Amino acid sequence: MAIEQKAGSTFNIPLGPVHVALEEPVYFDLQVEGEIIRGTTLHSGHVHRGMENLAQHRNLIMNQTLTERVCSLCSNSHAFTYAMVVENALGIKVPERAHYLRTLTEEIKRVASHLFTLAIQAHLCGFESLFMHTMEIREIMQDVKESLYGNRMNLAFNCIGGTKFDLDQECFDFLEQSLEKFMPQFREVLDIFETDPLICARIQGTGILPKEEAIRLGVVGPVARGSGLNIDVRKETPYAAYGKVDFDIVTRDGCDLYARTCVRLHEVLESVKIIKQVIRDIPEGETRVHMTHIFPSQAVARSEAPRGEVIYYIRTNSTEIPERLKWRVPSYMNWEALGVMLRNAKVADAALITNTIDPCVSCTER
């Protein structure tokens, strides 16, 4: 497409709706002035599946499986938060071992999810060999998921009142061995992402989201932490076993793509730290309690998904079909920030900047 350059004139460039960054549909209408983006209008709704309505026609146990399919990369966070919200509403007390198992699962998913985003970032930078290498390391975590839970993406491990099954010592041994294999390889990649001149030249100073804007837009997760905001649901309101494990919130003040990349890289290290503590401290005992009765109630639960805060709301009546189930996902908060990040950026960086919020379009539109 030949764009005639005139001083002061703007053009509209459509970007999307397919394969902007990931294989998820979102449509941008970019107002550009030459090579520079001056304004962005975001159109969504391409993957609306009516999941909130579907949830209101299924029983509480079926919804456990349904909510897991809201998103693929943070599938466990949805199922986990859904289980928590039902437990909150019906006053179910989850066994201690289940809390630890849930924490373990969530962190394994977080490692895999962050590595996936980082790999896509390398791909969008044009560094294909690093993309392949990062995906190869992620494969170690995928093998862990497959060996421990039986599935690679939708783990289907959480259920109302605990977890669907228990993990034995063999699983923990395999996990430890995998971590031993994973860590040296990950440190190598971490070093490349942080110091490689090709990556740094592309991402440093790009996609700026100043701290004030981050507060104004209410961004969550690694996007907020990359802009110097010290927020993490795992620390603010510890759920599952997060109150009993030691970990740090990773923040960076760079406000750019590089800062967010560093946040994700170091969060992987924190997640590995949590996994090791869980393996060491996990108590013995039951993993599930039964849901004995359902009564009219309402509750909210929130958790820190790989992309940020997930909030679930449920209102039950006396039947096993919920009257209302609603959730707010991190990408909904974060993609408003794209308007700020894309302003005055180059058209060529649009896909890279879109990827930096780790967009989950299917979560947001459900």
Note the residues at the interface with another protein (CB under 8 A): 58-59, 61-66, 68-69, 129-130, 133, 136, 139, 143, 146-151, 154, 156, 159, 164-165, 171, 188, 191-192, 195-198, 288
Nearest residue to 82 via CA among 61, 98, 96:
61
Question: Minimum distance from CB of 238 to another protein (Å)?
Answer: 27
Residue 40 beta carbon to another protein: minimum distance, rounded to whole angstroms:
33
| Nearer residue to another protein within complex by CB, 42 or 135 | 135
- Tell me the residue type at 130: L
Q: Nearest approach, Cβ of 115 to another protein (angstroms)? A: 15
- Closer by beta carbon to another protein, 227 or else 362: 362
The residue among 5 and 129 lying less far from another protein, judged by its C-beta, is: 129
Nearest distance from C-beta of residue 252 to another protein, angstroms: 21
Which of residues 5 and 195 has its CB atom nearest to another protein in the complex? Answer: 195
Residue 279 CB, shortest distance to another protein, in Å, is 17
Nearer to another protein, 32 or 265 (CB): 265
Residue closer to another protein by CB (options 66, 241) is 66
How far apart are alpha carbons 331 and 4 in whole angstroms? Answer: 35
State the minimum distance, in angstroms, from the CB of residue 148 to another protein: 7
Give, in order, the Cα–Cα distances in Å from 279 to each of 5, 174, 255, 284.
60, 11, 35, 12
91 burial class (0-12, 13-18, 19+ CB within 10 angstroms)? exposed
Q: Is 114 left (phi over 0), alpha (psi -120 to 50) or beta?
A: alpha
Which CB atom, from 68 or from 270, has the smaller least distance to another protein?
Answer: 68
Q: By C-beta, is 140 or 257 nearer to another protein?
A: 140
Q: H or E segment at 188? A: helix 169-195
The residues facing 360 across adjacent strands are none
Cα 79 to Cα 154: distance, rounded to the nearest angstrom = 9
Cβ count near 213 (within 10 Å): 17
Q: Please state the closest distance from residue 314 (CB atom) to another protein, in A.
A: 17
Backbone φ, ψ for residue 6 (5° rounding): -130, 145
Tell me how far, at minimum, the Cβ of 74 lies from another protein, in Å: 17
3-state secondary structure 50-77: CHHHHHCCCCHHHHHHHHHCCCCCCHHH
Coil/strand/helix, residue 309: strand
- CA terminus-to-terminus distance, the chain: 34
